[in-house]
Amino acid sequence: MQVLQSLFEKYDSFRHTSPALSKRRFKHKDILPLIQQLPYENMVIGKSFEEREIVKLKVGEGKTNILLWSQMHGNEATATMAMFDIFNFLKARGDEFDSFRKDILTNYSLHFIPMINPDGAERFVRRTAQGIDMNRDALALQCPESKILKNMVGVLKPEFSFNLHDKRTLYSAGKSGKQATVSFLATAYNEAKDWNEVRTKAMKVICGVIEFLQTKIPGHIGRWNDDFEPRAFGDNIQKWGSSLILIESGGYPDDTEKQFIRKLNFVAILGALHSISRKSYTKYKLADYEKIPQNDNYLFDLKIKNAKTEVDGKIYETDLGINLNEKNNKAATDFTVDSVIADMGDLSTFWGIEEFDAAGAVVRPLSLYPELIEKHKVKKSLSAAVGLDSSAYFVLEGNQTQTIVINGKIIK
Ligand SMILES: [Zn+2]
């Protein structure tokens, strides 16, 4: 625990300062020069469908291998950013972490593949250039990227593997109003979800990391459902004999570009490596793991309670659940947000990341308020009605209050 606390406290001194990594939409051409600047052995292990070079870095001289890859889904970049922080950490010397570095780098060789789906990252989309979800291609192997990953697992026979992803920011940690900021899974290797030694080791390492993270983001940690997915890499690599740890970065309030979650990845991955190098994970039990709530769907970006809506002159009460969806710009270097009213009615069993009590105010479409449209410079053509699946541009008219919602955001 102490080393994780220190990693958390000292993170800023290892954070990679490249501006390219300060937002999630960076590309293969942005990280290649950063890789070349590092004092590690790097190797082109193959090319993507569009012939971008996929590079593996090796750190350490140990006989036992550990394999880590990120961005199998092109728009899941958090762990790639954290990897560059970890590279900085591993090359530093002369601090309290020296003995940890020596242990891990003498006994293990760490193999990192940052951005294994560079074509998807170029467009900031999940799938490969072929339109295939690489994480359903572990058996069919129709993507060159899939063949590269499978080949690496076969050649290195890693004792541990780290499968690093992001997920939707609206997953909740169990039935709660808290986002599942980081989620873990020791993937199942068969339909029966048995616990053999390989899978059990992954589970125990996860428990050690979570024990610490709960102190920093209490209630924000989730566990994936462990149904066996025969086509996925995580499940197959576990089956092929490598203890596989899945880490998924979700959302955290006011962390759109996931820079805090990047730090949590840094601590989680290095904390896991520390517990592997010291074998301190062996003390954890399945019961510790099963305490972690499963990822669930109880969240909206904005929940408006106790509003009134008018249809054909009839007024009824409704809550509104509003979500904000990112839309890439043409070059996938930035994004805009599209709001949508995703649900209406009695939403008392759900939460919002932001919540607002409309206290009986009536929802009126913003299109009825030309002066507000002018004042707030709204460019979008607005519909004459507000309802399910429409964009969230409206005014909550109360007896003495007026609250304006523009594209899913309350204007204060
Ligand atoms: Zn993913």
**Span 81-103, pLDDT tens digits:** 999 999 999 999 999 999 999 99
Written as one string, the DSSP assignment of 376-392 is TT--SPPPS---TTS--
pLDDT computed for residue 412 by the predictor = 83
Name the token pair of 129.
Answer: 């250039």
In this structure, the chain runs to a length of 412
Measure 168 CA to ligand 1 centroid, in angstroms: 9
Name the token pair of 201.
Answer: 């080791």
pTM comes to: 0.97
Name the residue type at position 358. A
Measure 77 CA to ligand 1 centroid, in angstroms: 10
Angstrom distance (rounded) from CA 272 to CA 198: 15
Lowest mean pLDDT among 133-147, 167-181, 262-276, 380-394: 380-394
Query: What percentage of the chain has pLDDT greater than the value 70?
Result: 100
Q: What average pLDDT does range 221-247 have in this prediction?
A: 97
Measure 407 CA to ligand 1 centroid, in angstroms: 27
The fold of the 2-296 domain, in CATH, is Aminopeptidase (3.40.630)
The CATH number corresponding to 299-411 among 2.60.40.10, 2.30.40.10, 2.60.120.260, 1.10.150.120 equals: 2.30.40.10
| Contact (CB, 8 A) for 293 and 222 | yes
Taking 90 as the threshold, does the pLDDT of residue 1 lie above it?
no
- The CA–CA distances, whole Å, from 32 to 16, 57, 227, 257 equal 14, 11, 36, 21
Which residues neighbour 298 within 8 Å (Cβ) at sequence distance 6 or greater? 172, 175, 176, 177, 349, 350, 351
Measure 397 CA to ligand 1 centroid, in angstroms: 42
Measure 42 CA to ligand 1 centroid, in angstroms: 25
pLDDT computed for residue 319 by the predictor = 98
Name the token pair of 249.
Answer: 């970065």
Taking 80 as the threshold, does the pLDDT of residue 330 lie above it?
yes
Taking 90 as the threshold, does the pLDDT of residue 383 lie above it?
no
Domain locations in the chain as residue ranges = 2-296, 299-411
Binned at pLDDT 50, 70 and 90, residue 384 comes out as: confident
Angstrom distance (rounded) from CA 112 to CA 160: 12
